[in-house]
């Protein structure tokens, strides 16, 4: 197989995994609750509390809480879907097929994230319409671009997290901790300037931080175009970096799992 054919074949795996994950979640009542009912309630409460605030504060909170939702979905749904494969006995055939497991996990993450993103956008739009509280995006073009890069960056980040779930089912215990750490250090809901100085470098290496900054700046109009482009550049650089790191991480973690016999439930 030539390099180009391999890339094409791997992309096919990503889209198959995407399709399979979606098909499965549309028959899962729990997931449906998570993408329709819960965001609707959260969006309603957020907007109701914000209805007397100035418009660009409202959009800050909406974007921030949407990102929190996105991150939670990625961490829980993405992580649990790997643990789920372990329980159904499908993690073994997935890990020992010719296609890289990274392609499968990317497809799953893409499915989780697009599902969550679409549901968030629909819920907020719908609720803001029925409440007569318009949500205005200061810079729609840059906002849309930021969303696309956010999806890419979250997937790259999810690959790093996902590899930990392959390593060992016990990683689930740290899920809640990870959830808060990332959304505090990424500045989803309040600026990282409020955190101690020494934590700043940690935020800088998190792709969700650059995603939050780009999305906040583009939606509330609080940042210049230049700042947004800078965030985009950082998103791209770190996503590539994560992708490269994840390649090595998957390799060593899959080997470890085959040594420790953790690919199947015990």
Partner 1 sequence: MSAIEVINLQREFQTTIGVFNRKKKIVPAVKGISFEIAGGELFGLLGPNGAGKTTSVKMLTTLLIPTGGTAKILGLDIVNDAEAVRPRIGFIFGGERGLYWRLNATDNLRYFASLYYLDPAVSKKRIPYLLEMVGLTDRADEKVEGYSRGMRQRLHIARALLHDPEVLFLDEPTMGLDPVGARELRQTVRNLQDEKKTILLTTHYMFEADALCQRVAVINKGEIVAMDTPSKLKDSVNDLSVVEIEVFGIPPETVEKIKTLSMVENVSVEDRDQLQLLLVHTSKGAEAIPLLISELNGLKLGKVTTREPTLEDAYVRLVGGE
Ligand X SMILES: Nc1ncnc2c1ncn2[C@@H]1O[C@H](COP(=O)(O)OP(=O)(O)OP(=O)(O)O)[C@@H](O)[C@H]1O
Please pick, from the candidates 22, 24, 55, 175, the single residue that binds partner 1 as defined by CB under 8 A.
Answer: 24
What is the widest separation between alpha-carbon atoms in the chain?
61
When asked if residue 194 is in the footprint of ligand X (CB under 6 A), the reply is: no
Q: Do residues 36 and 30 make contact, with C-beta atoms less than 8 angstroms apart?
A: no
Please pick, from the candidates 167, 261, 263, 265, the single residue that binds ligand X as defined by CB under 6 A.
Answer: 261
Nearer to partner 1, 5 or 198 (CB): 5
Q: Do residues 255 and 96 make contact, with C-beta atoms less than 8 angstroms apart?
A: no
Establish how many alpha carbons lie within 13 A of residue 256's alpha carbon, considering only the half-sphere containing its beta carbon.
12
Question: Apex CA 134: angle with CA 147 and CA 49, to 5°?
Answer: 95
Measured distance CA(214)–CA(256) in Å, rounded: 37
When asked if residue 49 is in the footprint of partner 1 (CB under 8 A), the reply is: no
> Which one of the spans 154-162, 168-176, 224-232, 256-264 is the region binding partner 1 (CB under 8 A)?
256-264
Q: Where are the beta strands (DSSP E) in 106-167?
A: none
When asked if residue 95 is in the footprint of partner 1 (CB under 8 A), the reply is: yes
When asked if residue 259 is in the footprint of ligand X (CB under 6 A), the reply is: no
Smallest gap from Cβ 167 to ligand X, in A, equals: 15
Instruction: Compute the Cα dihedral for 194, 197, 199, 202 and give only its sign.
Output: positive
Where along the sequence are the contacts to ligand X (CB under 6 A)? 261, 266
Give me the residues that bind partner 1 (CB under 8 A), please: 1, 9, 12-13, 16-17, 20, 23-24, 27-28, 88-90, 92-99, 104, 255, 258-261, 263
């Amino acid at each position: 197989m030539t390099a180009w054919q391999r890339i094409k074949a791997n992309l096919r795996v990503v889209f198959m995994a995407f399709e399979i994950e979606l098909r499965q979640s549309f028959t899962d009542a729990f997931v449906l609750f998570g993408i329709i009912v819960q965001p609707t309630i959260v969006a309603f409460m957020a907007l109701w509390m914000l209805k007397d605030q100035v418009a660009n504060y409202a959009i800050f909170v909406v974007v921030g809480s949407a990102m929190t939702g996105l991150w939670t979905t990625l961490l829980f749904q993405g992580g649990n879907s790997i643990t789920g494969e372990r329980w159904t006995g499908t993690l073994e055939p997935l890990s020992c097929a010719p296609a890289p497991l990274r392609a499968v996990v990317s497809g799953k993450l893409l499915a989780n994230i697009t599902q969550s993103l679409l549901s968030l956008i629909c819920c907020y739009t719908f609720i803001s319409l029925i409440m007569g509280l318009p949500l205005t995006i200061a810079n729609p073009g840059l906002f849309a671009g930021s969303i696309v890069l956010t999806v890419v960056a979250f997937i790259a980040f999810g690959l790093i997290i996902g590899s930990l779930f392959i390593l060992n089912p016990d990683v689930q215990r740290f899920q809640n901790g990870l959830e808060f750490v990332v959304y505090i250090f990424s500045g989803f809901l309040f600026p990282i300037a409020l955190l101690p100085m020494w934590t700043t470098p940690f935020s800088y290496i998190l792709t969700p931080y650059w995603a939050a900054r780009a999305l906040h700046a583009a939606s509330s109009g609080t940042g210049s175009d230049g700042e947004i482009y800078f965030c985009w550049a950082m998103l791209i650089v770190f996503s590539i970096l994560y992708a490269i790191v994840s390649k090595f991480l998957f390799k060593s973690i899959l080997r470890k799992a085959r040594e420790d016999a953790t690919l199947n439930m015990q």
